[in-house]
Amino acid sequence: MKQIVGLVLGAALLCSCATTRPGSQRQDISQVLTTQTAAWNQGDISGFMQGYWQSDSLVFIGKSGLTYGWQPTLDNYRRSYPDAAAMGQLTFSNLRITPISPDAAHVVGRWQLARPAAGNLGGHFLLVFRRIAGRWVIVADHSS
Domain ranges of the chain: 20-143
State the Cα–Cα distance between residues 4 and 8, nearest whole angstrom. 6
Are the beta carbons of 48 and 133 closer than 8 angstroms? no
* 59-62 and 104-114 strand pairing: unpaired
Class of domain 20-143: alpha beta
Predicted local distance difference test score (pLDDT) of residue 23:
83
Per residue in 1-50, pLDDT tens?
Answer: 444 434 333 433 333 344 456 689 999 999 999 999 999 999 999 999 99
User: Structure pTM?
Assistant: 0.84
State yes or no: pLDDT of 92 exceeds 60.
Answer: yes
Per residue in 126-142, pLDDT tens?
Answer: 999 999 999 999 999 99
Q: What is the average per-residue pLDDT within 77-99?
A: 97
Strand order, beta sheet including 59-62: 65-68, 59-62, 135-143, 121-132, 104-114, 89-101
